Amino acid sequence: MARAEFNFCFPFRVRYSEIDGQKVVFNAHYLTYFDTAITEYFRELGYDYMAQVERTGTDFHTVRTLVDYKRPILFDDEIEVHVRTARIGRSSIGFAVEIHPQGKDDLYASGEVVWVNTDQTSHKSAPVPEELVPLLEGFEKKGLRG
């Protein structure tokens, strides 16, 4: 996808602690970038995720992550992590994520993160909170149920 297909991105500058012996971002940090960007995406939506947990007794659990590594990201690179909601199911939300150099369409990595909303007492899946669906669909400017 192109950067233009995303309504949200969050910038990072790669820190020394994130690189490995080859001076490339260690693979596990990509998921940290994804997770941080998704948190900021929800902040941009104005959705109080922690209030949802307190109010409903449900919480999202990550059940799937996928990273496709395209090019290495190096120390001190300035990157943007782009996030969009790709799909909303009964109890799940799927996010598409891409990492690009700041201000450029070149692709460092793409990925997917899937969350399932879970009742914290029964540990069974629970419906995505109804107040969240119109926020996501409005932000993405399209229907996402499917």
Indicate whether 57 belongs to any domain.
yes
Domain that holds residue 38: 3-140
pLDDT value for 142: 77
Indicate whether 33 belongs to any domain.
yes
pLDDT value for 2: 79
Indicate whether 45 belongs to any domain.
yes
Name the pLDDT band for 21 (thresholds 50, 70, 90): very high
Residues 6+ apart with CB under 8 A from 140: 7, 84, 85
Structural domains of the chain, count: 1
Each residue's pLDDT tens digit, 26-65: 999 999 999 999 999 999 999 998 999 999 999 999 999 9
Residue closest to 115 by CA, chosen among 132, 139, 98: 132
Indicate whether 119 belongs to any domain.
yes
- 30-69 burial by CB neighbour count: b if 16+ within 10 A, else e? bbebbeebbebbbeebebeeeebeeeeebbbeeeeeebee
Assign residue 82 the CATH number of its domain. Answer: 3.10.129.10
